[in-house]
Amino acid sequence: MEESDYYDVIAAAAEKLLADGNRVSVRNVRDVLGGGNPNKITPLLAAWKAGKPPAKAPEISLDPRIPKILAEQIQEAVTAATMEANTALADCQADLALSVADGAAATTALEKLQSEFVEATAMIQRQTGQIMELKIERDKVNYEAAERINIAEQAAADEIKTAKDIAEGAINTVKAELAAESKARETAQLALAKAEIQLQSLPQLAKEIADLKMMLDKERLAKIAAEQAAAVNEASKAALAQNVIELNKLLAKSEKKAEKLEDQVEAMHVQIQKFLEEKLKKTVVIKPLVKASTSDQSRIS
C-alpha cells in the first residue's frame, strides 16, 4: 500500500475516534485498524493532527467586572490549554511507550533471528565439514577398492598363467610319455615277435624233452638190465661196469640237457608274462593321465 493511501486510512480511523468522542492516539488507531506498525502510524497521525485547526480559545466577553472575570477566563483558558497539552503529552507518551515496546519486541525478534542465523551458519559449516570428510572417505574407499581390484586381477592373471604353464608341462609330459610308450610298444612288439618265434619252437623243445625222457627211461632200463646181467655173469662184470659208467654219464648229460631246455621254456614263459603285465600297467596309467591333461587343457581354454 502506498504512503498516501495509508495516510487516508490513518486519517479515517482518527476521524472516527474523534467523532465517537474517544481520544486520538496511536494505540486507539491500531485498535480501530486491527493492528499496524506504530513506527508508520506515528508520523502519519502526527501529520493528521498538524492539519487539524487548533482548538478555539474561549471568547472573553466584556463584563463590568472585567478584572475578576478576565482573570477567571484566563485561568480557565490556561487550565483548558494545560489539560489539552497534558492530554497530548499523555498520547505522545503512550505512543512512545508503544513504539518502544514494539521496538524492544522487534529487537528481541531480530536478536533471535540473528542467533538462529548464527546457529544455522555454524550447522552449515559443520555439515560442510562432514560432507568434505565423507567425500575424502569416499575417495579413499574408491582408491582402496581400485587397488584391491588391480591386485585381484593380477593374482587371477598369475594363477591363469601358472595353470597354463602347469597344463602345458603336463601336456608335454604326456606327449613324452606317449612317445616313450610308443617306443616301448614298438620294443614290446619286437620282443613279442621274438617270443612268438620262441613259442613256435616250444613244441620242438617239448618233443626233444620227451625224447630225452624216453631215452633216459631206456637208459635206466638198460642200467637195470645191465646190473641184473652183472649179477648173473661175473665174467662180464667189468664190461658191464664200464657200460654202467657210460650210461650214467649219458644219463647225467641227458638230464642236464633236459633241465636246460626246461629252464629255457620257463624263462620264456616268465619273460612273456612280465612283458604282458608291464604293457597292461602302462596302458592303465597313461590313459587316465591323458584324460586328465585333456580336461585341464579344456578348462584353461
- The residue count for the chain: 301
At 56 the three-state DSSP class reads coil
pLDDT of residue 114: 83
User: Can you give the pTM of this predicted structure?
Assistant: 0.28
Q: Which residue has the higher pLDDT, 235 or 56?
A: 235
Is a pLDDT exceeding 80 seen at residue 134?
A: no
pLDDT reading at 57 higher than 50: no
Taking the C-alpha atoms of residue 201 and residue 185, their distance in angstroms, rounded to an integer, is 24
Give the whole-angstrom CA distance, residue 63 versus residue 67. 9
- Nearest to 91, CA basis, from 156, 46, 147, 138: 46
**Percent of residues, the chain, with pLDDT higher than 90:** 13
Confidence of residue 169 (pLDDT cuts 50, 70, 90): confident
Please name which of 6, 192, 57 lies closest in space to residue 14, comparing C-alpha atoms. Answer: 6
**All residues at 6 or more sequence positions from 164 whose CB lies less than 8 Å from its CB, including other chains:** 300
